[in-house]
């Protein structure tokens, strides 16, 4: 089996990035003007990369699926962004942020990448402040911090409950400036449908103009994918409605490896599902766990009474409550990492202690915080989240505890990239959540924003030059080349095929079915039999989709159902790959929990001797099983341990 080379630079951990930058190839200003870069996506990673590349002098073509780059789903991140500033003098450092991230990721991330991430984290905060991001401040005028899951220091910077929004608007403003200056050409309401490879290198993309339905071709010297994750494979997730895995999936089908697809994060604090018609789930920020305490009734009888509406949570006495996170993990308590908190909630609900009408919910209680700090302070900290909750659930969280349940939120897996963020296809780069990332098997809270911006502002603008330096002699490509024509033809055939099915089921009903299969068999607890069932069911569902989907309207027109169908076709295939990967990884780590592999106390049990690698899946063709290649994760600097959040 071929071993995959991550091109990690040699040398001591702390010097790798500095050395890399000192020795990498650069492109001089005159040549930058002659080089075009396509950036797909305008989230934190895409917008920051597009803006930074344009500032440097490259010509950037930027594509966005929404009507404006400001709407990318990064905007929905609430809690904050981590950085190793140590402003609170609580012992933080680059090394500690690195270590927490590696440990939080259950030792399945690449050491050198994570260290680089921790290193540039501080520059991100500086950059954002300079852009006018209104981070929360203390009365002395300096920046405030809060603490997040998986860390014992307060290193999270925040802007109320809207940190993602403020950071994205910062990147969007930088991007807007470059659009105004003519250095970035912006294409709104365009969806990438394929990547075009010429002589083994990524040279362009095919898009569908979502307003006219026209298939369009764009060429460039390099292509950057920043299209986010694929949580919507599960239908119900906290992702936005248009968040999809198609761009990444097309890269995979063109030869880019897909890494660790089974590593999906299930966020513990979401508003529970309330009915069949539900279209998406809403996240309640992890920051709530700073002051909120999670509990279920200690007695099954009480839980049952609550479910049938006979008892109110406030009527349950203190001694009859089970603060199970505090009980199981005394050292971290309610601030254990997400995977741990999610599994613990599932464990309680499976055991019959769940609350809410469905029994699939636990309480997040602020009564103690309100007693300790006063309602005003709580309102100041979480007011907008409380309001959001009340609007959705019609229940006042200041008086009755919130109900929460885990939901799909983020995918650590994604397109495989090397140290330079280049995929296995030369000239094709992946940044942000779209790549398989620095989060290993589990991402810590407030680290997604950090990684997106690190990639976009401070990593890719350097590493891409190492590639582009060799491209300065390459003239611009015509989009009339046969490779472009072929790609467009294939897309048109695919769309034709879909339009001709004229079946009976809407896209959404099939997507919901996909979601049920994924959640039931490839969700929080996975086992061999279930995963095999899932693969069977997914294959049947694929047939059902391709023979029974109904898409009204025309292809060459604004057609929302066609857009959704194209995405769903990829989600079904992606779901199967997730199941394959989950089946192959016979261990539990981070967000991937195999029921067969757990400690006596029900904690995730890793098998470092056998699975200390990144699984990189290679596409083999339609209806053929993919092949897995391995990138070994040799830890030089950190000793792997059983993750312990107990003491």
Residues within window 453-492 making contact with other proteins, judged by CB under 8 A: 457-458, 461
Catalytic residue among 338, 381, 443, 526: 338
First to last CA, the chain: 41
Shortest spacing between CB 508 and other proteins, in angstroms? 7
DSSP state of 559: -
Q: How many binding residues for other proteins (CB under 8 A)?
A: 82
Instruction: For residue 370, state whether it binds other proteins (rule: CB under 8 A).
Output: no
Report 79-98 residues binding other proteins (CB under 8 A): 85, 87
SS3 582: helix
Angular region, 433: left φ>0, alpha ψ -120 to 50, beta rest: alpha
Instruction: For residue 33, state whether it binds other proteins (rule: CB under 8 A).
Output: no
- Indicate which single residue of 10, 29, 277, 609 sits in contact with other proteins (rule: CB under 8 A): 277
SS3 193: strand
Query: Under a CB-based contact definition with an 8 Å cutoff, are residues 503 and 550 in contact?
Result: yes
Shortest spacing between CB 504 and other proteins, in angstroms? 8
Report 161-180 residues binding other proteins (CB under 8 A): 162, 164-166, 169, 172-174, 176-177, 179-180
- Indicate which single residue of 89, 391, 623, 647 sits in contact with other proteins (rule: CB under 8 A): 391
Instruction: For residue 71, state whether it binds other proteins (rule: CB under 8 A).
Output: yes
Return the number of the residue (242 or 435) whose C-beta is nearest other proteins.
Answer: 242
- Indicate which single residue of 18, 131, 400, 548 sits in contact with other proteins (rule: CB under 8 A): 131
Instruction: For residue 509, state whether it binds other proteins (rule: CB under 8 A).
Output: yes
* Residue partners of 245: CB distance under 8 A and separation at least 6: 229, 230, 232, 233, 567, 570, 571, 574
Strand blocks (E) in 420-549: 428-430
Instruction: For residue 376, state whether it binds other proteins (rule: CB under 8 A).
Output: no
Tokens of 350: 């499976």
Shortest spacing between CB 78 and other proteins, in angstroms? 8
- Is the dihedral angle over the CA atoms 117, 122, 128, 134 positive or is it negative? positive
- Measured over all CA atoms, what is the biggest interatomic distance in the chain, rounded to whole angstroms? 76
Q: What is the C-alpha separation between 153 and 293, in angstroms, rounded?
A: 19
643 is catalytic: no
Tokens of 551: 């898409």
Count of CA atoms in the C-beta half-sphere (13 A) of 59:
12
Q: What is the C-alpha separation between 562 and 495, in angstroms, rounded?
A: 8
Query: Under a CB-based contact definition with an 8 Å cutoff, are residues 186 and 62 in contact?
Result: yes
Report 553-582 residues binding other proteins (CB under 8 A): 553, 558, 560-561
- Indicate which single residue of 278, 299, 492, 618 sits in contact with other proteins (rule: CB under 8 A): 278
Report 188-207 residues binding other proteins (CB under 8 A): 188
Instruction: For residue 185, state whether it binds other proteins (rule: CB under 8 A).
Output: no
- Indicate which single residue of 3, 25, 28, 134 sits in contact with other proteins (rule: CB under 8 A): 134
Shortest spacing between CB 387 and other proteins, in angstroms? 7
Among residues 182, 29, 36, 32, the alpha carbon closest in space to that of 478 is found at 36
Query: Under a CB-based contact definition with an 8 Å cutoff, are residues 215 and 496 in contact?
Result: no
Shortest spacing between CB 391 and other proteins, in angstroms? 5
Instruction: For residue 241, state whether it binds other proteins (rule: CB under 8 A).
Output: yes
Strand duo 156-157 + 81-82: pairing? antiparallel
Q: What is the C-alpha separation between 31 and 6, in angstroms, rounded?
A: 28
- Indicate which single residue of 7, 253, 307, 550 sits in contact with other proteins (rule: CB under 8 A): 550
- Indicate which single residue of 68, 478, 540, 547 sits in contact with other proteins (rule: CB under 8 A): 68
Shortest spacing between CB 510 and other proteins, in angstroms? 12
Instruction: For residue 159, state whether it binds other proteins (rule: CB under 8 A).
Output: yes
- Indicate which single residue of 113, 227, 242, 342 sits in contact with other proteins (rule: CB under 8 A): 242
Instruction: For residue 367, state whether it binds other proteins (rule: CB under 8 A).
Output: no
Shortest spacing between CB 312 and other proteins, in angstroms? 14
Return the number of the residue (55 or 536) whose C-beta is nearest other proteins.
Answer: 55
Q: What is the C-alpha separation between 76 and 283, in angstroms, rounded?
A: 9
Shortest spacing between CB 295 and other proteins, in angstroms? 24
Among residues 356, 436, 430, 342, the alpha carbon closest in space to that of 629 is found at 436
Query: Which residues are tagged catalytic?
Result: 338
């Amino acid at each position: 089996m071929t071993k995959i080379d991550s091109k990690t630079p040699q040398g001591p951990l702390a010097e790798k990035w500095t050395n890399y930058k000192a020795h990498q190839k650069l492109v001089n200003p005159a040549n930058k003007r002659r080089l075009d870069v396509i950036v797909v996506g305008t989230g934190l990673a895409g917008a920051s990369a597009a803006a930074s590349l344009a500032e440097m002098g490259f010509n950037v073509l930027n594509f966005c699926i929404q009507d404006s780059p400001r709407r990318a789903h990064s905007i929905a991140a609430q809690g904050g962004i981590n950085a190793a500033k140590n402003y609170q003098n609580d012992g933080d450092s680059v090394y500690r942020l690195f270590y927490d991230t590696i440990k939080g990721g259950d030792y399945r991330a690449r050491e050198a990448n994570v260290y680089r991430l921790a290193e540039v984290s501080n520059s991100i905060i500086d950059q954002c402040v300079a852009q006018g991001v209104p981070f929360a401040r203390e009365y002395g005028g300096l920046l405030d911090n809060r603490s997040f899951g998986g860390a014992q220091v307060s290193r999270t910077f925040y802007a109320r409950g809207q940190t993602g929004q403020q950071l994205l608007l910062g990147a969007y403003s930088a991007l807007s400036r470059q659009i105004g200056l003519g250095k970035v050409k912006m294409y709104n309401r365009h969806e990438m449908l394929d990547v075009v490879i010429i002589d083994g290198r990524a040279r362009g993309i095919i898009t569908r103009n979502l307003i006219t339905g026209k298939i369009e071709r764009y060429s460039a010297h390099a292509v950057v994918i920043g299209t986010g994750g694929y949580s919507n494979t599960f239908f119900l997730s906290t992702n936005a409605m248009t968040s999809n895995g198609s761009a990444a999936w097309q890269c995979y089908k063109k030869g880019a490896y897909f890494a660790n697809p089974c590593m999906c994060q299930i966020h513990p604090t979401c508003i529970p599902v309330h009915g069949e018609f539900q279209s998406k789930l809403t996240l309640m920020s992890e920051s709530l766990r700073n002051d909120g305490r999670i509990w279920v009734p200690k007695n099954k009888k009480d839980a049952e009474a609550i479910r049938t509406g006979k008892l109110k949570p406030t009527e349950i006495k203190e001694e009859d409550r089970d603060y199970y996170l505090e009980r199981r993990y005394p050292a971290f308590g309610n601030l254990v990492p997400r995977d741990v908190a999610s599994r613990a909630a599932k464990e309680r609900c499976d055991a019959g202690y769940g609350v809410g009408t469905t029994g699939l919910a636990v309480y997040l209680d602020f009564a103690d915080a309100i007693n300790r700090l006063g309602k005003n302070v709580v309102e100041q900290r979480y007011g907008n989240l409380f309001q959001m909750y009340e609007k959705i659930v019609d229940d006042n969280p200041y008086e009755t505890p919130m109900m929460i349940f885990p939901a799909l939120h983020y995918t650590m897996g994604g397109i495989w990239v090397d140290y330079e963020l280049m995929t296995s296809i030369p000239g094709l780069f992946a940044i942000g959540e779209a790549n398989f990332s620095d989060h290993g098997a589990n991402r810590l809270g407030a680290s997604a924003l950090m990684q997106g911006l690190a990639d976009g502002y401070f990593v890719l603008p350097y590493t891409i030059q190492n590639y582009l330096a060799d491209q300065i002699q390459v003239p611009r490509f015509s989009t009339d080349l046969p490779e472009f024509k072929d790609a467009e033809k294939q897309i048109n055939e695919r769309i034709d095929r879909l339009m001709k099915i004229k079946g009976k089921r809407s896209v959404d009903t099939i997507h919901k079915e996909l979601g049920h299969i994924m959640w039931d068999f490839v969700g929080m607890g996975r086992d061999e039999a279930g995963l095999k069932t899932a693969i069977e069911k997914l294959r049947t569902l694929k047939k059902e989709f391709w023979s029974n989907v109904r898409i009204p309207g025309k292809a060459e027109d604004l057609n929302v159902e066609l857009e959704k169908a194209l995405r769903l076709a990829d989600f079904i295939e992606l779901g199967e790959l997730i199941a394959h990967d989950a089946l192959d990884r016979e261990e539990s780590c981070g967000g991937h929990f195999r029921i067969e592999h757990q400690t006596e106390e029900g904690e995730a049990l890793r098998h470092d001797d056998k699975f200390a690698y990144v699984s990189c899946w290679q596409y083999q063709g339609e209806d053929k099983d993919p092949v897995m290649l391995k990138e070994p994760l040799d830890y030089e600097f950190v000793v792997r341990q059983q993750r312990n959040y107990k003491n």
